[in-house]
Copies of this chain bind each other. A is one copy, B any other.
């Protein structure tokens, strides 16, 4: 099935949400934004997930990141369900909007369709950049709840790579060394990273694996 993927521009849809009507590009504005779908209101994994998003809201706010939930239920259903979410998740308030897609139009355009029930969303999460383009996607089935720590980790990688010519290695965690982008020559790297960098000594003798801290 065709669908929105990395590098594509988020369609500028007008959507009904628990915070009123919004146009997606206006909502993103100049911020990194996490758009995440859940299969349905009053269902188990979703209640834990939207509650966890509420519990992590401060971490996202500190990073200047906006949140937008989405399912095919209507706004009235969302508002009733939020009471369950907040009660189950130690009272963490759901302060982010949840979009309603009862016509199942938005989920198709955002590549969020559940393959086992095409009338429902899968558990998809896109990180959209300030340029309104998809930077990173987690496409999980209805049966797998997301890991918010991985969402935060991936976001920290994106934010760091948007400020420096670096990338983050496998299993990287914030605070750990990063690698210098291959497009940066050693001479450029000396200017760009005055804190210095360590080059791995590899059998090929090629100097491409250079670690620094930013």
Tell me the A residues contacting B by CB distance below 8 Å: 1-3, 5-8, 40, 42-45, 47-49, 51-52, 80-81, 83-84, 87-88, 111, 113-116, 122, 124, 133, 135-150, 153-154, 157-158, 161, 166-172, 179-182, 200, 202-204, 206, 208-210
Closest 7 CB pairs of A and B: A7-B115, A2-B2, A48-B169, A143-B161, A44-B179, A52-B170, A143-B167
Beta-carbon nearest neighbor of A87 in chain B: B203
Beta-carbon nearest neighbor of A161 in chain B: B143
B182 x A51 contact (CB < 8 A): no
B135 x A137 contact (CB < 8 A): no
A6 x B84 contact (CB < 8 A): no
Beta-carbon nearest neighbor of A129 in chain B: B141
**Complex Cα distance A42/B179, Å?**
13
Interface centre among A88, A144, A200 (most CB of B within 10 A): A144
B179 x A154 contact (CB < 8 A): no
**Complex Cα distance A132/B76, Å?**
39
Interface centre among A113, A154, A170 (most CB of B within 10 A): A170
B144 x A136 contact (CB < 8 A): yes
A49 x B141 contact (CB < 8 A): no
B209 x A47 contact (CB < 8 A): yes
A169 x B5 contact (CB < 8 A): no
Residues of B within 8 A of A2 (CB): 2-3
Residues of B within 8 A of A154 (CB): 140, 144, 147
Residues of B within 8 A of A8 (CB): 1, 115
**Complex Cα distance A5/B115, Å?**
9
Contact A170-B153, Cβ < 8 Å, known A141-B6, A141-B136: no
Beta-carbon nearest neighbor of A153 in chain B: B147
**Complex Cα distance A99/B82, Å?**
47
A172 x B145 contact (CB < 8 A): yes
List 27 contacting pairs A-B, 8 Å CB cutoff, sorted by A.
A2-B3, A3-B3, A5-B5, A7-B115, A42-B206, A43-B208, A44-B182, A44-B208, A45-B167, A47-B200, A49-B170, A81-B204, A88-B202, A135-B141, A137-B138, A138-B139, A142-B167, A143-B168, A145-B167, A145-B171, A145-B172, A146-B171, A147-B150, A147-B154, A147-B171, A147-B172, A149-B171
